[in-house]
Amino acid sequence: MKLPVIGITTSYDTEEKNYFLKSSYAESITRAGGLPFLIPADEAIGREAEYAQALSGILFAGGGDIHPKYFDEEPLEGFGMGNILPQRDSFEIRLYKEAEKRRMPMLGICRGIQLIAVAAGGSIYQDIDTGAKRVQRIRHMQKAPDWCETHTVSILPDTRLAGIYGVEQIMTNSFHHQSVKNVPGGYRVSALSRDGIIEAIESVYLPFCIGVQWHPERTGDEKTLGLFRDFVNHALQYRTE
């Protein structure tokens, strides 16, 4: 049986001319039974259909901020905007749409959940500290090691995510200042933090499309590996259908 090939999006250092991605993404796909394939952020522009045709699933990885023009906003003052790589935004949005047409399994992590939301017609907070109304302010940019889980996330019942984790609440790590604001049509919220920030969304019409705001690839335990296994299993089914 051939291993399902999972495309993983990368970022790009415009000064050093390097593509880069934390190894934990590929390691998690490998451990889950998939074959990771790294997609160059800018050289792939215009070849979205070819990549979608060749792959069995797509993992939208973490990275810099998404350009506000893609969700019809001007860049706002009052916070430090992260690095923007417009060619990555453009490519990943079009790659999502190609994968959506094919009903291909997709998983988004951190920036990836935001990319899925924007590509599907939703929007994100440019900065949750200045834009999201929160009574209790949870720290979402932790100062602990990346494998350390620092705050709780409640998983909503009767969601695919609830079926994967099998519990109502988990601890997660957290490294973000943006988050999903308006959930796109065809999606539902599947997890929330205690201060109301959307921590996961999932498609209600695609066989498998989940975005999570935390970094399950960095914890490397059996609990979070279940998410990758479910993703890879759906990719295997997709390729053999």
Does the active-site annotation cover 209? no
CA distance 97 to 110: 19
Q: Residue 59, class by beta-carbon neighbours within 10 Å (0-12 exposed, 13-18 middle, 19+ buried)?
A: buried
> What does the alpha-carbon distance between residue 91 and residue 40 come to, in Å, rounded to a whole number?
10
Choose, from 151, 199, 217, 234, the residue flagged as catalytic: 217
| Interatomic CA distance for residues 17 and 13, integer angstroms | 5
**Tokens at 124, concatenated:** 């994100």
Q: Is 217 a catalytic residue?
A: yes
Report the DSSP pairing between strands 151-155 and 123-125: unpaired
Distances in Å between the Cα of 46 and the Cα atoms of 81, 90, 91 are 27, 10, 8
Rg (CA), the chain: 17
Q: Residue 3 and residue 89: Cα distance in Å, rounded? A: 28
The CA distances from residue 40 to 13, 52, 91, in Å, are 11, 14, 10
CB 175 within 8 A of CB 65: no
Active site residue 110: yes
Determine which one of 67, 177, 215, 234 is catalytic: 215
Catalytic residue among 110, 140, 199, 202: 110
Q: Which residues are catalytic?
A: 110, 215, 217
